[in-house]
Structure 1
Amino acid sequence: MTDNNAPPSPIPHLPRPEPRVWVISSGDSPIGISLARQILENGDCVVAGLVPTYFPRDERRLERFRGFLGEVDANGEDNWKARFRPVVLDIRMMSACQAAIAEATKTFGKIDILVCCTSQGKLYIDLLSVANPNLFLTAIVGTVEELAASQRTLNLVRDQFESNYFGPVNIIRAALPHMRKQKAGHIQVLSGITAHLGTPGLGVYCAAQWALEGFCDSIAYEIAPFNIKLSILQCSIEILILTNLITTVPPINSAYSPSTNHAPLFRNILGGLISRLPTVDINTSNPSTSSTQTSSDIYDRADSEEYSPAINQGPHIFSVPKFVSMQPPLGTAHSERLTAETVHAIMAIGGHENPPSRHIVGQEGIASVKEKLKTVSEELEDFIQSSLAVDIPQDEDSVRT
């Protein structure tokens, strides 16, 4: 996990013979904004995809992006505005992906680096199917039984894969013909250690990431002859979850309450974390602007019904027996510190002549994957011993018998 007390990692200025062109699938996310800022400071061009959004719930996200647009306008001397192009992009729709790629090639003439960083932490949304048919979905948090409790939750499981698997596949497919024509390109896919490690309460989210990484590992061989590189970046779980939309599914109290089920469900971990976060941006030069609002205040903004914690689930916002959707109340300064290491990694390997095929961001993620590999190795040894135990050599008499 990135140390929030440490300053953001510096991004060195890398002079290039000509500006490179970046396409970011989610340019209005905290990671997308920080990455676009570094790209523009580095003298490159960027096409930033804007995720379709629902204003009352996503106001915090929109305000941050408006603030970034102000930075773009203010940097006239460095020509930021001429090198920045925002486009509405719903990666679930192939036509939207093709339009975004066409806009990039029309405006800047090429695509050097495609960054797939669309991932939003979700459990379930109450406002989804009827009120907001174009709402962008990415991650569902909830147990397998809870996600099979109704047709709405089953639809969200499908939407999970539409956004976290088929969405990146769409934007990659749209970019490949242009990169093949150029005989060059670099695709970066932002994933997480959840693509290596199963997490209780994030089963569908993990499944979508595992599927995406399997796809990427396969096409990397297919596109290598065209001088197109592909890199998977696995960041810590809190980075993708705390920088995107969170939605929760009603818990099954009798089966999955902490008093009867001791599995470390992600809902309770996340609820305890969110309840300690401020609800407004933190100004580093004036820390007194932090808000003292509680989680129930956030819940009241997401749903007008009374906040009533579920039995034995603990008094956090995601323990209510209904659907909750919200943007994490993480301040801009905290978001930038949380994502600094990931943004640094994207910039460092973006467009590299020989980039890594997989890069794990952060020591915590590396330690987790090492522990997983150790477990797999032990399981293989047990399997070998079991196989040897049943592989008993037979003599000729026993064979004839």
Structure 2
Amino acid sequence: MDPHLSPESRAQFPSHNEPRVWLITAGDSPIGISVARQVLAHGDYVLLGLAHSVLERDERRRNGFDAFLAEVEEHRDEGWKQRMKAVPLDIRMMGECQAVVAEAVAAFGRVDILLCCTSQALIGTVEELSASQQTLNLVRDQFEVNYFGPLNIIKAALPHMRREHTGHIMILSGITAHIGTPGLGMYCAAGWALEGFCDSLAYEIAPFNIKLTIFQCSIEIGILTNLVTSVPPIFPAYSPANNHAPLFRGILNHLVPRLPDAPSEGVTTNPNTTSGSRSSEQDNPRVSSIENGPFSSSEIVSMHPPLSSAHLEVLVSETVYAITSIGGHENPPSRHIVGQEGVASVKEKLKTVSEELEDFVQASFAVDVAADSDPTPPAMGSFSGPF
């Protein structure tokens, strides 16, 4: 038996009368590969979108997908190769999204389930992201990939699903689409925008028997399984010694060098560190590790976090189980929070909002001046007030 598909890790798919056709936008991502593996083992069909790659930067991801293709070849007798197709997809381009949907329909007859799991993470404070035209372009690209990209593939798939009067759109999001994170402002903003769009869309497509589910995963899923780009930091203003906000750059600088596949040369010394902050580094080794980590370079840094394939499989297993268990369900949830950590974070956010409402509830009440003096409501067009 394939070690990736042990009985403990196999998802319980919703019951259905015939194999379903999946379209996965990031078929070469750890999430996409793991879902495709489960889908093929279940007997379904899948079309995988492959992002255009940069030779050196994306080598880790390409190697992971090549290993998956070898695995598909090993299961040739079980029909994996016949039931899978991989095509290039730049989700930012509407034309390519339309072509991918058409390719899936031509190859397998229809699209039953669309899984939008394409994502990138942009690291930097608002000031740092506004420092140059290059960083501003990165902000725009963050929205092109994480917001407009899903909109493109959804709009491309909707006419087909509407004609078939069935379909399930699944959006891989995160708790960062509900909870702001310092140093991830644009990443959070794109997630919030996408969820607002999807919440509205769900009502519009319900009459066509098209379902929509948002998966809110832990922050590790969105960050550690995708491309991460960091802009040059502004030191010492945003140094941990001077700014106590828990910036996400510091978290990654502390984590990435300790990952199992981290290269020895992965830690970059930041040339912008001032002599004043150096003295604080000597007093506080933690500050030194944060400021001199791989994401504190004076240049823009892009990388796939160096997790091994085995660690990635463990990391995404809970999310993949949720996706395969809900995908194609006749009555799926509109939103599913994956994992106890995510549930706890959202509960804490709701608790904070509730407490703030109670603190300022009087300021939220509308004052009906006319009702205080005259029980008869004013006529249309008239104004009753203190002026």
Q: Does 1:325 align with 2:293?
A: no
Q: Does 1:346 align with 2:328?
A: no
Task: Output aligned runs, 1:187-198, within 5 Å.
Answer: 187-198=169-180
Deviations 1:182-213 (A, max 9, x none): 00000000000000000000000000000000
Q: SS where residue 259 of structure 2 aligns?
A: coil
Q: Which of 217, 224, 227 in structure 1 is aligned with 2:206?
A: 224
**Residue type of the alignment partner of 2:196:** G
Q: In the aligned structure 2, how far is the partner of 1:400 from the partner of 1:87?
A: 67
- With normalisation by structure 1, the TM-score equals 0.84
Deviations 1:345-372 (A, max 9, x none): 0000000000000000000000000010
Q: Which of 129, 134, 138 in structure 2 is aligned with 1:147?
A: 129
Residue in 2 that maps onto 1:166 = 148
Residue in 1 that maps onto 2:256 = 274
Q: In the aligned structure 2, how far is the partner of 1:72 from the partner of 1:400?
A: 75
CA contact (8 A) 2:30 2:313 kept: yes
Residue in 2 that maps onto 1:85 = 85
Residue in 1 that maps onto 2:382 = none
CA contact (8 A) 1:50 1:86 kept: yes
Task: Output aligned runs, 1:15-54, within 5 Å.
Answer: 16-54=16-54
Q: Does 1:55 align with 2:55?
A: yes
Q: In the aligned structure 2, how far is the partner of 1:400 from the partner of 1:183?
A: 56
Residue in 2 that maps onto 1:366 = 343
Q: Does 1:375 align with 2:352?
A: yes
Residue in 1 that maps onto 2:266 = 298
1:271 to partner: Cα distance: 1.1
**Residue type of the alignment partner of 2:322:** A
CA contact (8 A) 1:14 1:42 kept: no
Residue in 2 that maps onto 1:102 = 102
Deviates more, 1:242-251 or 1:14-23: 14-23
**Residue type of the alignment partner of 1:357:** S
Q: Which of 233, 238, 244 in structure 2 is aligned with 1:251?
A: 233
Deviations 1:51-103 (A, max 9, x none): 11101111111011001001111112210011000010001000000000000
- With normalisation by structure 2, the TM-score equals 0.87
Q: SS where residue 299 of structure 2 aligns?
A: coil
1:143 to partner: Cα distance: 0.2
Deviations 1:137-190 (A, max 9, x none): xx2110000000001111111111111100000000000000001000000000
Deviates more, 1:237-246 or 1:164-173: 237-246
Q: In the aligned structure 1, how far is the partner of 2:270 from the partner of 2:101?
A: 46
Deviations 1:374-395 (A, max 9, x none): 1111111122134569889977
Q: In the aligned structure 2, how far is the partner of 1:230 from the partner of 1:350?
A: 10
Q: SS where residue 230 of structure 1 aligns?
A: strand
1:10 to partner: Cα distance: 3.5
Q: In the aligned structure 2, how far is the partner of 1:400 from the partner of 1:349?
A: 56
Q: In the aligned structure 2, how far is the partner of 1:181 from the partner of 1:390?
A: 50
Residue in 2 that maps onto 1:355 = 332
Q: SS where residue 203 of structure 2 aligns?
A: helix
1:253 to partner: Cα distance: 0.3
| Larger Cα-atom Rg | 2
Q: SS where residue 82 of structure 1 aligns?
A: coil
Q: In the aligned structure 1, how far is the partner of 2:25 from the partner of 2:258?
A: 30
1:254 to partner: Cα distance: 2.5
Structure 2 unaligned spans of 5+: 1-6, 278-289, 375-384
Change (3 A) 1:105 1:258: same
CA contact (8 A) 1:341 1:361 kept: yes
Q: SS where residue 77 of structure 2 aligns?
A: coil
Change (3 A) 1:200 1:108: same
Change (3 A) 1:101 1:272: same
How much identity, in percent, do the aligned residues show? Answer: 64
Change (3 A) 1:387 1:340: closer
CA contact (8 A) 1:193 1:236 kept: yes
CA contact (8 A) 1:309 1:317 kept: no
**Residue type of the alignment partner of 2:306:** P
Q: Give the superposed CA RMSD.
A: 2.2
Structure 1 unaligned spans of 5+: 1-6, 121-138, 281-292, 300-305
Q: In the aligned structure 2, how far is the partner of 1:391 from the partner of 1:15?
A: 55
Q: In the aligned structure 1, how far is the partner of 2:230 from the partner of 2:294?
A: 9
